[in-house]
Chain A
Amino acid sequence: MGTHQEPFEFHASLTELGPGLETLHDSVRMLRVAIGRANDDHALMLFETALGEIGANVLTHGRPNDDIEVDYILRSDGAAAFASFVDRGPAVADHLARPMPDQDREAGRGLAIARSVLDELGYMRQGEVNTWRLVKRL
C-alpha cells in the first residue's frame, strides 16, 4: 500500500527583485519539507536553479513600473514540481532558443541553463502578458 502524498501549493505576488528571489527560494525550501526530500536532493536543486534564472528574469524585466506585480505559483504532487510566472514585461520569444554563450561572455546564460535542467520550459504571450511554465520531474 503506497503512502498518500498531499498536493503542495504555494502562491505569491512578487515585487522587488531581492525579496522576490528570497520568496522563490523559500518556496522551494517549503516544498522540500512538504514532500520529504533531503537538503541535497538533486532534482530539486536543478529545479531551484531554473527557478532562480526565470525568476530573476521576470522580476528584472517583467514589471514595467513599481505598481505591477509578478504572479508566482508553485505546485507539486510529489512526483514533479510545476511553477508558473505571469508578468507584464516585453515579449521574450526571440530569446528562448538562445544557445549557451561563449565562455568569456558575462551574461546571457539564464534561459539556456533553465532549458537544460528542466523537463519542460513553456512560454506564452497573450496580449501584454507573459506566462512561463516550468516543469521538473522529481
Chain B
Amino acid sequence: MVAPTGRLDVAGAPALKDAITGLVNDGPPRVVIDMEGISFVDSTGLGSVIAALKQIRSSQGELRLAAPNQQVRVVLELTTLDRVFPYYATVEEALTGF
C-alpha cells in the first residue's frame, strides 16, 4: 500500500512515481493507493496515477484507489478517469478480495 499525503499536484507527483517504481521493482505488484491523506489533486497528479497504472499493469500487477476525498472524486469524474480507476470508499474495501 502507498499512502501519499498533502497535495498530489505538479509538485507532489514525482514522489508517487518513485514509490510505485520501488514496488514494481520488488515483483508483480498489487497496489492500493490510500488517498485519504490527499487534500487536492491536479491534472499532473492524475497523470502520475495513470503512469503508475501503466507501470503496474506492465508488470502483471493491479492497482486500486481507496478513500479519495470529494475534490479527488470530482476530478476523476470530470476526466472520466473514474472508469479507469474504480475507487473504493475505504482501504478495507479496496483490500477485500485483492
Contacts and interface: CB of A to CB of B under 8 A. Distances in A.
A10 B70 CA distance: 26
A48 B42 contact: no
B50 A105 contact: yes
A106 B50 contact: yes
Interface stretch (B26-34, B60-68, B73-81, B86-94): B73-81
Contact of A104 (B10, B44, B54): B54
Interface of B: 7, 9-11, 40, 42-44, 46-48, 50-51, 54, 70-71, 74-75, 78-81, 83-84
A40 B75 CA distance: 15
Q: A interface, by DSSP: helix, strand, loop or mixed?
A: helix
A109 B10 CA distance: 13
11 contacts: A21-B10, A25-B7, A45-B70, A46-B74, A56-B44, A103-B84, A105-B50, A107-B43, A109-B47, A109-B79, A112-B79
B9 A52 contact: yes
A13 interface: no
Interface residues of A, number: 27
Contacts of B7: 21, 25
Given A17-B11, A45-B71, A49-B75, A103 B43 contact: no
Contacts of A17: 10-11
Contact of B74 (A45, A52, A56, A110): A45
Contacts of A103: 50, 79-81, 83-84
B39 to A, nearest CB: 9
Given A45-B70, A45-B74, A107 B10 contact: no
Contacts of B43: 53, 107-110, 113
Nearest to A105: B50
Contact of B78 (A48, A104, A107, A116): A116
B75 A113 contact: yes
Contact of A110 (B40, B42, B54): B42
